[in-house]
Every structure is written in structure tokens, then in C-alpha cells.
A and B are shown apart, each in its own frame.
Chain A
Amino acid sequence: MPEYQTHEHDVLVIGAGGAGLRAAIEASAAGVSVGIVCKSLLGKAHTVMAEGGIAAALANVDERDNWKVHFADTMRGGQYVNNWRMAELHAKEAPDRVRELEAWGAVFDRTKDGRILQRNFGGHKYARLAHVGDRTGLEMIRTLQDHGIHQGMEVHMECTILTLLKDGDRVVGAFGYERERGRFKIFRAKAVVLATGGIGRAYKITSNSWEGTGDGHSLAYHAGAELIDMEFLQFHPTGMVWPPSVCGILVTEGVRGEGGILLNQDGRRFMFDDIPDLYKAQTADTEEEGWRYCAGDRNARRPAELLTRDHVARCIVREIKAGRGSPHGGVYLDISWIKKKIPNAAEHIKRKLPSMYHQFKQLADIDITREPMEVGPTTHYAMGGIRVDADTQMSRLPGLFAAGECASGINGANRLGGNSLSDLLVFGKRAGEFAAKFARSNKAGRVDPEQIEAAARRALEPFDHGASAGPNAEWPYQIQFDLQEMMQDLVGIVRREDEMVRALDGLHKLSERAKQVAVRGNREYNPGWHTAIDLTNLLTVSEAITRSALERKESRGAHFRDDYPNKDAASGKVNVVVWKAPDGTMQVRREPIPEMRSELKRIIDEMK
């Protein structure tokens, strides 16, 4: 075996978004040595783009809020297929995790009496999202980064993990390559935490960056861990639709939280046309009541625009399909109308939503304080992911932990806005804590040179294909585009059996093409090579989404089946689990959701 550079850490964290950084901080604090790896530079992970806020029942704005309400909101949003233990831990621990950020330097917007301000968001009963204008993710990642670099962790930037290394069942490290020179690296570790984020890049229209290729999902799956809830993919209702070059870029739900309304071409607030039973009691009867809620009237109920994302996205699709959309195939989102309600509305909008103002002004020539925006659904967030133990975040493989978007359970069929950033903190911390514990109580495992050599060979194959490339060569970007187009068309917001069966067939063909993918140039900072390597991950997660979506023969949360448009009580009692059989094929099974503890049930009943 050639000499590869080798790093040794007690705990290796893969991913430096909110979840990875929080895990690394916790593990370092526990006194073990920590390495953290990321594909981009430090501080550029997806978390930096989060806008609206962090959900935590601090009760600073509304003292009626507490963990029980947050728990019930999360379960209701997830249509009760969530891992209730994770939802419980999340609701209980989020406030402490947010306060801790303040101690590390985060500067949240303030209430009049100087405490952390909280804003309204879809599906949350009370104003619950701690925020900094509409750049909360930046504040969070910078705070964790600036705190973390003084904790002694070693940071490996622009380094991509290609495979997990195993000793028997146990995960004992990872193998990857650094972009600058294209050299391979071995990471030996007693415990590994995956915190690799989402999978939006499997779709054409997405709010996700190039990093969101489902690496952690795929690494864990191929190593033998299980994936769960993969059919639940969140399409955020409001992405930009025009101009084409910005299609998919997110427009924060904070716009609606601040009073923004959705209108169709005829100027109708169509969200009031269809309010699901589960939310009738919590939703405003009139537009006027909705506004009072946004303006802070505590006796008013939420406007229909703040229903959960799955529902809002489907209503938008309905309007567009019925021919009532905007000129560029979206609907209108208007915040400028609040000038009828408050003085200095333009200033208020710029202060509460500065980056939205900036984004539309600069990229779309639209002044959101004067005109409506055009928006439509965009692939945003994976509720599904690596199956973990709720308390420790360990997967079924000893030594392999997962946290953040790549892990699954807390969100069920639909995530509430703001629940991701808090999830990263709560479960990032837990993963770091238990990974450190695991590292303390286990000796280093053996690293198998054969696994490493096989991974290195696989990674370099595209160059061989490039060297002999003829006119029919398969280039990485084309395969990626074709995959994204197909997933968008066949396994999108509205799903059907026949289309998904076609998608499976398409995925098979794409996999065959990907085996021949060719790359030119050398190994140094070569994005074509990187894209070629990512294909395996994209194909794996796309297959997992499609197979899980076929398995769930009902409509629930973000998963909507045209051929099974209703909820099915029996399906509501199971999760869909995906794993890799010894022969390499993807297997799917349904698994009953464990019975909820009675006191949690009582909470849910009380909050109905």
C-alpha cells in the first residue's frame, strides 16, 4: 500500500456545520482529541445560510410557552411518525443550547427588556424562534467556529471523506482526499460522528449548495447502518423562481412570520381556502385576525400562511397547476402590504429581513418593500437520514454516531421551521458527548489496508476513463443534471407509483453510466473529479428516497401520493427503514413505531 498521510484522533467529526461543530466542541470539552473534516472552508457549511431562526421554548416573548408546547407542535408538524423521544429531548434541551450560544458570543436580536427576542414561524404555537434578522445561521456557525477553534480541535478543511473504515462491525476511521493537492488521507479514530447535512442536490430546484449530496447518508448506508424516513423530503414553499439563475434560492419563512401574505394571480389569499383539520383550532378565521397575530396580539391565531411547509407547498402547486400562478410559474409573496398597517414599514422590513431585501434587490431587481416577490417550492431539507439512538445518537454500528440533518427521527413527516438549527445544537452536543465516552472506553480498532486500497482505486477510476475517453464518454456534470431532472420530475412534491417505478429504472441506467464516468485534468482542486465521486452518493440517496416513497402507500406530511391521497391509520404507526443487504441490494421494511410514554401522550392530548 502506498504511504498515505495518516491522522489519529479519538473522535473524528465529519462535517463542520452546526451539528459537526457542536459535536466537536462537546467532545473536546470532554478531554478527548478531536479532528473535524469538511468539504469547504470552515464556516461555509450549509448552516451559514439558515435565515429565520432557532426554535427553543425560551418563553421570552410569550410566557405561555414551554417544552411541552414545543414538543406537541413538533409531533403535530411531523404527523406523529417522529421519534418521540428525540422530539422530547429536543424540546427540553433547546433553550439551554441557545443560552449557551449567547455565552459564547452570539448576539441575538433583543426584546424590550433586553432578553433574546423570538419570532413567529409556521407550525409553532407561540413566537419561538431566536434570531438575528434573517441571518441566524451565520451567527450560529460563526459563534461555534470562533468558540471551537480555541478548544484544541484539529480542523481539516477542504477534505472529502470517501468511505468509512471498519473493523468488523465497528467503525474505526475514514478515508478521504484533500482538494488542494488531491492526495488521499487516512483518519483513524475510536469514534466517528457524521454531520454531513442534506441531500438537496439530488433535485434540480433546490436551496442547497453543491455540498448537499447526501454523503453521510450514503457513507453510513454502505457501511451497514440503516436509513429511516427517507420518503419525507421537505419542499420549502418559498424559493425564488425568477430570474432562472436564482431559481430555488430560499426566501425565508420569516417573511411570512413578519406578516407576509401569499397571493395568486387574481390577488386572492388562497391559503385561507384550505385549512387542514389538525390545524383548524389554531388558525385564524379571518385575514384580519392573522395580521393581529403577526403584530403580536396574543389572543389572535396564526394566519393560514403559517401553516406547515408541506401544506403550504402543496397549496402553491395547486394554484400554479390551476393556472392561477404568477408569470414565471410561481405565486406572489407580499410583505410590502404591511405599509397599510404600520408606519415606516419599509424601514421595518429592511431591519427584520435585511438579507431578503438585499437578495431580491441585487439578484432580481425587486424592492420587496414596494412590490411582491414571485416564489415557488424548492427542495430544501431531508427529514430522513441515518437511524440513531435518541439519547446517544449512535447508529446500529458501534462507534458510528450521526447528528444534524443527516440523522433522522426528530422531524417525522415534516420539519417545522427553526427546528433544524435547534436539532443541530441539541443532538450535536449529545453525539459529541457520547462519541467521546465511546472513545474513552474503547481501544483503537484495526484499519484494513484492503478497504483503503479498494476505495482509492474506485476514486481514481474516472481518470482512467478520461484518458481513454471517446466521443461517447460520460462526463460527470451531464450525469448529475440528468439525475436531478429525473428526480424533480418523477419523485417530486406529488408522487405516483408508475412514475416512481420509472425513476427506479432511470436510476439503474444512471448508475451504469456513472460507472463509466470520465474526468480530465489532474487531481489538484478538480471539481469535475469531485462531481464524479459525488455521483455514488446522489444515486444512493435517490434510490433510498424512491424506494421508501413507494413503500409508503398513503399521503402524510411532506410525502404526497396522488394515487393514495389520504392518510392511512396503519401507515401512521410505522417508519420505513432502508438498509443494504449482503448482496449489495437495497432493502426496505416497515417497522412499528414504539409506543409513546403515557405522560407524553397526555401532553399531546392536552394540546390538541
Chain B
Amino acid sequence: MKTATFRIWRGDVRAGQFHDYTAEVAEGMVVLDAIHQIQAKQANDLACRWNCKAGKCGSCAAEVNGLPRLMCMTRLSDIPLDQPVTVEPMKTFPHLKDLVTDVSWNFRVKKKIHKLTPRMADAPDGTWRMAQQDIDRVQEFRKCIECFLCQDVCHVLREHRKHEEFIGPRFLAHLAGLEMHPLDTGNRLEAAKKEFGIGYCNITKCCTYVCPEEIKITDNAIIPLKERIVDEVYDPLGKLLRRLRPKA
């Protein structure tokens, strides 16, 4: 049977190093299958996260040959196997063990963002009316599976470690999803600027590039948010007019 070498990061908070494993390669296999095979046969204590094995839960994010990927959606047939395949944990978050990182920061960040505040119901039975075209954009953001790959590649977090000042692309998209939600009456623009550091984003689009859900984070979430902030702060007349008109 065909085999391939997997160079996997092993270690914990104290120390770590790459370790080479040989795995059998069968038709249709993905990187996560190889990791599972190694876990079952050679290294029972090899730590990794996964749940759905179908790109739906966002648990299995890692860096495969240096590229941020979902391991369950990365086919072995799409990567060269004549050299070792490196598999390492995401870099933006504190390392815990092997392929597992401490992503708890993301959960704390989300809690800081003001939740949806719906407008009064449209119909006497307490329901709302929304047209499909008015929710298409919001549905795009709601496809997010919280894999945090976009957070992993954003240089503001990865290199500049601005975790205290900047919420990262995932949560800017989340915030945009709330701002553009047809039912929402809240306003998070000031917070986006002051508290959540949207100004740190210099539109490199690396986040969009890695998103497995193909969410256009930069073009559809961050840039429109930036524009709205500019309008709110520097265009008071426009702001007034928008207040009189219903939210887009």
C-alpha cells in the first residue's frame, strides 16, 4: 500500500518538536484521516480537535504545509506526498498540546459584542416579515463555522499580537452580521472603532483568502463597516438622513 510521511508537531506548553510518522494512503483520504490513523495505531495520545469530518463544525483547523486549512477538507490527492506533509497547530493562539491551541480568547471576545436587539414585531402574531434579498448578505456571514482560520492568518493578531485591542476578522464579520440584520436596532459602530479596533485592519484580505466558507470577510463585512463608521463620524447630515430612513 502507498504510504506518506506526516511531520506532526508534538509537544505541550513547555516544549515541542516535529515528529515523523508514516501513514497508509487510501483513495479519497483527507489529512484528518491520516491523523486519526496515526492516533489509533501509533500515538494514542496525539491531540487534535474534530467533530463533523465534513467541514461543518470548524473544529479541525491547523496549518498543513504552512497553509491554514481544515484538516477534514484537505484531500491528500491535492498535496505533494513525495515529501513529508507538515501538520502544525494554529499560531495566533497559545499552544496547548500537539495540534490543539487555546482558542478561549475568541469566546471571550464574542461575549463583548452587543447581541441582537430586534425591532417590534411586524405582525400581530409576533412575527416579522423579511424579504429574501434583504437577508442574503447576513446569511453569508452566518455561514461562519468558527474555525478561526481567519483569525489565525490576520497579521494584526498573528504578528502584532493585538488581541487586547482588535477582535479580528471573525468578529468583525459577526458584528457586521448584527449591524446588517434586518431586525436589529442596536448600534455597534462606535464600539467597532473604539473598543474593537477596526482601524487596525489594513485590508490585506488574507482572512478572506483562507475562509473555508468563502465568506468575503473584507469586501462584504469590514469595508462596509469602515464606510459606515466614516459616515457616522464625519458625515453628521448623512447620519441624520439615515436615522430617518429604515436601516439597510
Residues on A lying within 8 angstroms of B by beta carbon are 40-46, 48-49, 99, 102-105, 107, 109-110, 113-116, 132-133, 135, 138-139, 142, 146-147, 149-150, 155, 157, 180, 209-211, 242-246, 249-250, 355, 358-359, 362-364, 475-478, 481, 519-522, 524-529, 531
Contacts and interface: CB of A to CB of B under 8 A. Distances in A.
29 contacts: A40-B51, A41-B59, A43-B57, A43-B58, A43-B146, A44-B57, A46-B51, A49-B56, A107-B130, A110-B131, A110-B132, A114-B130, A115-B129, A132-B142, A135-B56, A139-B142, A146-B116, A149-B107, A150-B111, A243-B29, A245-B30, A246-B54, A363-B75, A364-B28, A521-B44, A521-B45, A524-B97, A526-B44, A526-B45
Contact of A525 (B53, B98, B131): B98
* Size bin of chain B's contact surface: 35 or more
Nearest to B110: A149
Interface in B37-72: 39-41, 44-59
B30 to A, nearest CB: 6
Contacts of B44: 475-477, 519-521, 526-528, 531
Question: Which of A139, A149, A250, A481 has the most B CB atoms < 10 Å from its CB?
Answer: A149
A41 B59 CA distance: 8
A83 B22 CA distance: 52
B142 A102 contact: no
Interface in B133-166: 135, 138-139, 142-146
B12 interface: yes
A430 B59 CA distance: 30
B97 A525 contact: yes
Contact of A527 (B39, B51, B56, B96): B39
A526 B47 contact: yes
Given A105-B115, A525-B97, 14 more contacts: A41-B59, A45-B51, A49-B52, A110-B132, A115-B129, A138-B142, A146-B110, A146-B116, A149-B107, A209-B50, A210-B51, A245-B29, A524-B97, A528-B44
B204 interface: no
Contact of A246 (B53, B58, B98, B144): B53
Interface string B92-111: 00001110101110010011
Given A110-B131, A110-B135, A362-B55, A525 B115 contact: no
Given A43-B146, A244-B26, A525 B100 contact: yes
B80 interface: no
A534 to B, nearest CB: 13
A477 B142 CA distance: 36
B181 A525 contact: no
B54 A49 contact: yes
B118 interface: yes
B220 to A, nearest CB: 15
Contacts of B97: 524-525
A49 B142 CA distance: 14
A210 B50 contact: yes
Interface of B: 12, 26-30, 33, 39-41, 44-59, 73, 75, 96-98, 100, 102-104, 107, 110-111, 115-116, 118, 126-132, 135, 138-139, 142-146, 178, 181, 183
B93 to A, nearest CB: 12
A135 B143 contact: yes
B181 A244 contact: no
Contacts of A107: 130, 135, 138-139, 142, 181
A529 B46 CA distance: 11
A41 B54 contact: no
Contacts of B127: 99, 102, 115-116
A362 B74 CA distance: 8
A42 B146 CA distance: 10
Nearest to B70: A362
Question: Which of A150, A157, A531 has the most B CB atoms < 10 Å from its CB?
Answer: A150
B190 to A, nearest CB: 19
A48 B56 contact: yes
Contacts of A105: 115-116, 118, 178, 181, 183
A245 B56 contact: no
Contacts of A355: 54-56
Nearest to A477: B40
Given A146-B115, A209-B50, A359-B54, A528 B45 contact: yes
Contacts of A110: 130-132, 135
A477 B29 CA distance: 19
B205 to A, nearest CB: 21
A133 B54 CA distance: 16
Contacts of B107: 41-42, 149, 155, 157
B115 A147 contact: yes
Given A210-B51, A246-B28, A527-B46, A362 B98 contact: no
A108 to B, nearest CB: 9
Contact of A363 (B49, B73, B135, B146): B73
A72 B103 CA distance: 46
Contacts of B118: 103, 105
Given A41-B103, A524-B12, A48 B54 contact: no
A209 B53 contact: yes
Nearest to B146: A43
A210 B27 CA distance: 22
Contacts of A116: 127
Contact of B45 (A42, A149, A527): A527
Nearest to A356: B54
Contacts of B138: 107
Nearest to A50: B56
Contacts of A211: 51
Contacts of B39: 477, 527-528
A48 B51 contact: yes
Contacts of A135: 56, 143
